Amino acid sequence: MATAALVVVDVQRDFCEGGSLQVPGAEEIIKPINNLRSIFDVVAFTKDWHPENHISFAKNHVGHNIFDTTEDHHGVKQVLWPVHCVQHSKGAEFHPLLIHKDSDILIHKGVDPNIDSYSAFWDNAKQRQTELKKRLVEKNISQLYVCGLALDYCVAYTCLDAVQEGFDTYLILDCSRAISSASLTVKLNELASSGVKFTYSSLCNKK
């Protein structure tokens, strides 16, 4: 029985080349993720799945610009982003080259208009939990290998929450890309000090 799962975070059109919130080098991770997924019996994918009136969209804040920082209703720091991954939009679709199956776990996050949700486990205020932990526990998963977009935001927060939820957690560096090199350095230090381990797809054995 599988004890390890692969978690692929937000490899969606809006975060890839030509998308509204393009992550540099995003397309480079698709082939290694496709190659990697075949060695895992359990694979989970996440999607940002925002309503049009989502709090993270700069256009919904009069007098603010993209990448400004404000606070949400819970007092949590909120970066204001371009409109991205709106529910049922083309930008919210997985990248067309990403291999995913109906049997895979699929988690939608960021669905509440009043709170963002970087992590695949919790919203940013820790008010609402997704079904990811429940689905993984049902499959007796204890070890997670996490990758995707963007490393310095949704991937990092997913890793941090995975550790907090008791999973032995590995970040696959070559299957992830970051928005900013500056924020990446800060997040990698935080991840390391929180117990997240770093690895590469070439080092992942049969799980």
Domain ranges (residues) in the chain: 4-50+88-203
- pLDDT exceeds 60 at position 156: yes
* pLDDT at residue 10, as a whole number: 98
Active site residue 109: yes
Q: What is the CATH number of domain 4-50+88-203?
A: 3.40.50.850
- pLDDT exceeds 60 at position 88: yes
- pLDDT exceeds 60 at position 1: no
* pLDDT at residue 205, as a whole number: 67
- Which of these is catalytic: 47, 48, 109, 152? 109
Active site residue 77: no
Region 171-181: what's the mean pLDDT? 96
- Which of these is catalytic: 10, 14, 152, 161? 10
Region 10-33: what's the mean pLDDT? 97
- Which of these is catalytic: 85, 154, 159, 175? 154
* CA separation for the pair 80, 98 (Å, rounded): 27
Taking all residues of the chain, what is their mean pLDDT, rounded to a whole number? 95
- pLDDT exceeds 90 at position 46: yes
> What confidence category does residue 143 fall into, taking pLDDT thresholds of 50, 70 and 90?
very high
